[in-house]
A and B are shown apart, each in its own frame.
Chain A
């Protein structure tokens, strides 16, 4: 290749390369470095150092020129990312702007990205629910995608491993569809959430549950987390700015500094991975081609083992762009399925309501989580006219407000002393499993390239009939449950958002037992190139209903140990 650095090849050789410094890549790096493996982590974006590079973290509301709002100019230039709930004045610098990294939407797809050290782990919603065998056995039982090559018991110890280090708050709920884990004390549910919980028990027995959502926040075992330089979550609810306490898990506050302390980590920001180098004589991958984000010069780096953790769709892009005589259609793509069976989570629908009970109560303080409905549809057996089911978020809120109808001194005194108490406000949103299909795919555009000369990604992912039926069922069931709980003024919505805004895109490099129908084996190795591991969202065979990051972390840690066994 042109523009090779004058450094000797030896200086650019490591034992392992991890592509991506986000939630899954940082976990692979942490495990490798901790066990003595010299590891290079490549990050396409700029460096973000814990605390130092959180410019807005302690800003007060009046210090934001537009009090948090995104300007019209930014909104117009960035219609996709502007639809993301967390893209606000305080965190906009951590999001990819539409124009900077264009892609082709064959069908509408809101691709939300965070290109910096730590990736989207700075911005995530921090919800961490385990999968169960009702999820891993789903494709085989219900006849879609392919069978997962592993079962819950193989992942369980790795869930424990990552939960303990990351810090997960939650309650032991004893539900087979949402296994318990290594939990720090849970946060309280409020009086109306408890009322709803009791109503579910009364009307549905043991078949439907509303529990406290498990979240990656430190709420106990403080001495242990002090070793990472992290402290108790202060419930500021400003997580998307980066947390100076390290109160929630991010790569920046936890796994990356831990890896760095070992002396085995080389972190290289501004390194856009072009492709993986495949050596036909050796029959394995030997390194990666990197384009410097700023100088645009290409360099190569070499290693025995390569982890691809670029975030689901970009992992697909890198593999598709890694062509050779042996793999003309992308690395490991002997069966032509690379980039296919991409799916997501269906977040289109929500239900809200009022509750006129417990009006003598309110809440105080902050809480980094809310209530959660584990999936109850089609769990133990198929019972509806659609496959799979949905989880749902649930919360009840109340606070004083001011009468703002007048003007003058009356208005001023009202807003200085808000003293009106309306009903409790109840909210829920669905998180539906979608079925991966061959028609849901990503591919490289044959002409369009980005600023670094890398082909742009074409995205073609959509809802299907199963999703529509599921939305209908969620709206009906939640309305019924709200009604039974005595909630009033029940309002349903389907916002018809495009896929992608859930930020749970998955698949394209799925795991499976058979090289003819999958790309990765049970240990996340490419069947055809076993020294390449994929442990981010791209590896997912099906999507389940749980927020997926915890599962990526567990896969990454597990695969890192597998790689080390064979080193």
Chain B
């Protein structure tokens, strides 16, 4: 809080900080992503389940609590080139069959531990036949981690982000750093 007070005092000196309205995660873009990537509501549900398998809910919220599935689709739609998008979609569409082949069940019917096994095995596939599947899961994992860590919930409630990092110290003993463990 001391830092925040300092910030406020400085704001007075500099003539007042302007509060900027946050750039809302636009619903239109989310819908556009579903549309362009041809994601049905079943697939959206599936993506949420995969994201939850990667980062489950526990003492702190999990991926789908933060609607990370929407973030994944917006990033794939807006920030990946067409070839990568095609590969992502292809891998996505093959995932349910892959699960059934592995376990005899649909992903949503599996126990969490079985879901983890399927996702882990997909991430580790080396066979050329599964190149899109592996890519899809890798991309999903990457954006799940990013969407989780850079979510409003994480950056305000769990590990508050500071716009002011403090003065530089170039010789800090790691053993002197105190950190309380955050439980998942």
Q: For the complex, what is the distance from the CA of A61 to the CA of B141, rounded to whole Å?
A: 19
Chain A residues 410-424 with CB under 8 Å of chain B are 411-413, 415-417, 421
Asked if residues B155 and A61 are in contact (CB atoms below 8 Å), the reply is yes
**Chain A residues closer than 8 Å to B151, beta-carbon distance:** 62
Once A65-B25, A66-B78, A365-B165 are accepted as A-B contacts, the answer to whether A244 and B18 lie under 8 Å apart by CB is yes
| Beta-carbon nearest neighbor of A398 in chain B | B174
| Beta-carbon nearest neighbor of A404 in chain B | B145
Once A56-B20, A236-B165, A361-B172 are accepted as A-B contacts, the answer to whether A245 and B14 lie under 8 Å apart by CB is yes
**Chain B residues closer than 8 Å to A63, beta-carbon distance:** 22-23
**Chain A residues closer than 8 Å to B154, beta-carbon distance:** 62
Interface-located stretch among A118-126, A225-233, A344-352, A554-562: A225-233
**Chain A residues closer than 8 Å to B126, beta-carbon distance:** none
For B, the interface residue count at a CB cutoff of 8 angstroms equals 67
Tell me if B175 is interfacial: C-beta within 8 Å of chain A: yes
**Chain A residues closer than 8 Å to B158, beta-carbon distance:** 416
Tell me if A9 is interfacial: C-beta within 8 Å of chain B: no
Tell me if B148 is interfacial: C-beta within 8 Å of chain A: yes
**Chain A residues closer than 8 Å to B152, beta-carbon distance:** 60, 62
| Beta-carbon nearest neighbor of A56 in chain B | B20
Once A72-B80, A244-B11 are accepted as A-B contacts, the answer to whether A58 and B168 lie under 8 Å apart by CB is no
Interface-located stretch among A183-191, A441-449, A496-504: A183-191
Asked if residues B20 and A59 are in contact (CB atoms below 8 Å), the reply is yes
Q: For the complex, what is the distance from the CA of A404 to the CA of B149, rounded to whole Å?
A: 13
For A, the interface residue count at a CB cutoff of 8 angstroms equals 61
Asked if residues B14 and A69 are in contact (CB atoms below 8 Å), the reply is no
Quick one: CB contact mask for A204-248 with B, threshold 8 Å, 1 for yes? 000000000000000000000010011110111110000011100
- The A interface, classified by DSSP as helix, strand, loop or mixed, is loop
Quick one: CB contact mask for A59-77 with B, threshold 8 Å, 1 for yes? 1111111110111110000
Q: Which residues does A use to contact B, with CB under 8 Å?
A: 51-52, 54-67, 69-73, 187-191, 193-194, 226, 229-232, 234-238, 244-246, 360-367, 404, 406-409, 411-413, 415-417, 421
Q: Which residues does B use to contact A, with CB under 8 Å?
A: 7, 10-11, 13-20, 22-23, 25-26, 29, 53-56, 58, 60, 62, 74-75, 78-81, 112, 116, 119-120, 123, 141, 145-146, 148-152, 154-156, 158-159, 161, 163-175, 177, 179, 181-184
Considering the complex of A and B, which 10 residue pairs feature the smallest CB-CB distances, nearest first?
Answer: A190-B170, A367-B168, A412-B184, A366-B165, A365-B166, A191-B171, A63-B22, A413-B184, A416-B182, A71-B78
Ordered by A's residue number, 20 sampled pairs between the chains whose C-beta atoms are within 8 Å are A51-B14, A58-B17, A60-B155, A61-B155, A66-B75, A67-B146, A73-B78, A191-B171, A234-B10, A360-B173, A364-B172, A365-B165, A366-B168, A367-B168, A407-B54, A407-B123, A409-B184, A411-B145, A415-B148, A416-B158
